[in-house]
Structure 1
Amino acid sequence: MSILTSDDIRTADAIWDKYRFDQRYHFASHSMLASATEIWKDAPAVLLREHYRCHPKIASFFNQKFYNGELIVMTEDHGESNVLSMYHTAPGNHARGHMNQRQIDVIQQEILPALSGQGYREIGIITPYRDQVAAIQRQLGDTYEVATVHKFQGREKDAIVLASVDNVIGDFVDDPNMLNVAVSRAVKSLAVVISDNKENEKTNYGDLAKYIKYNNFQIVESKVFSVFDLLYKGYYRQRMDYLKKHKRVSEYDSENINFPRLVPLVAMSQFRFEQLHRLATRFFHFFIEPVVPQFDFQ
């Protein structure tokens, strides 16, 4: 068996995206066994019970949740801290279609620094939607391997970050097979970011949150906020408190909230304009005046 390099995976993905081959034959996301079981649905299958990839605390979740405890986990628990963590974004409907900028900011500002501080270098970021993959890549560049759950199948990383995207997790994201694949990509650490919505407690992600809490791992209330959060209904009291302390310049709360932040920017822009104007004037007088002919009209 050969190990695929990142270049191999990128080449394979480009071929499949260009020619639209059947994904069941995609060797970068499917092992031979995975391809066979997807092609021949009625073929008899035998569970390979011994599991050698994930930290026992990670494996224990999907073993209990998806395999009825039938797996024999062969890895060892050495008492590592923060093996699992879940980050809740600040309340609000941050998703737009299949993209959630707030979750990307939480990943960049909170999760990745925490993982880096723990010494992780092999980090993968998984999300259900291609739009979110593209948005993460635009913001973070190619430092991390970012892919959809389907394309990460068959791969692994020491640390995995899973972004759920949806405000309220729906059937597509909550698919047990997809969650099983995503969680089981993590060798030593799994961090999940989801929206802070009570409805998500009823999902498979909600069961993962309960498992993390039961094992005394991290449930983190994200500190990444935006001034626009004040416009959500849930922030009405905070919005009113904020507006009482600031000058009203408009009938619209959104403009009143942003006005104090625009004033320094405008002032800075005016300052820079005046600096540039003075510099240009000095340039003109220094270089142009000496060569202007002097005429005596008397």
Structure 2
Amino acid sequence: MTPLDAAWLAAHPLPAPAADTNKNSRGRVLVAGGSETVPGALRLTGEAALRAGAGKLQLATVERVALHLGMFVPEAAIFPLSANEAGELGDDAGEALRGYLERCDALVLGPGMGAKAPAAAILKAVIAEPRAGLSLVIDAAPIAAAADLAAQIRAHRGHIVLTPHPGEMAKLMRCDPARAKEDPAGLVHEAARHFDAVVLLKGPETWIACPGEDVLRYPGGGPGLATGGSGDVLAGIIGGLLARGAAPRIAAAWGVWLHGEAGRRLAERVGPLGFLGRELVGEIPRLLAAIG
């Protein structure tokens, strides 16, 4: 086990943008998910991706809220997707998303998706054909669906990041939920090997595993991060760093650190509890500047 701290980050820097960089070379992120019940999740994820340095943002969500989301995030292109009767993404959303993958360098799938979304069908369609240069973050509802798609995930050869909390990890690995508490390092290492992916186990402390590498441990950013929208922000940071060209393990580790340290700063300034998930986003550029 290796601590995820400033020394580790210094030894594993993010790719620096060239002097003549443009918005395409800084990376294109597609965030897909949301629902009529949680329409703002993609705003948090998308803004976090841009704050982490991505150049272009695309948001794909249920058609009845897509226009409103576009008004709230004018920097983004908006792709409307069909909805089911529960107000979640429809059964054909995965096939529609496949048509957008050529336009992005990183896909973040899952923020804002609920239990009544056809997560398995969507995930299966999206990961069916690995593409060179495309990395994915699988978050929220699709994580449980990933349990049945290990072979398809392994076909992406390490370019997928899975972001479960303990309950999602138990479903992903079909194990006793107590394992996430009793042996988090062992469990996350096993999951990374099983899926040939980067896996981070979120919680009061976060564990990050990648096949062939030491497990990283981040001690946590404080209890204030246990708030609605916080995980959406984390997924967006990782997606933005992937789009910039960071390797999946580097993007996951930096994303966890930036998210946690943003929580620490807000706890000092606002209070240990009560800051909002959307307030984390504004801390990201300052943290990048301070340690980059």
Query: Per chain length, whose mean CA-contact separation is higher, i.e. which structure has more relative contact order (CA < 8 Å, sep 6+)?
Result: 2
TM-score by length of structure 2 reads: 0.31
> Which structure features the higher share of helix residues?
1
Structure (1 or 2) with the larger CA radius of gyration: 1
TM-score between both structures, scaled by the size of structure 1 = 0.30
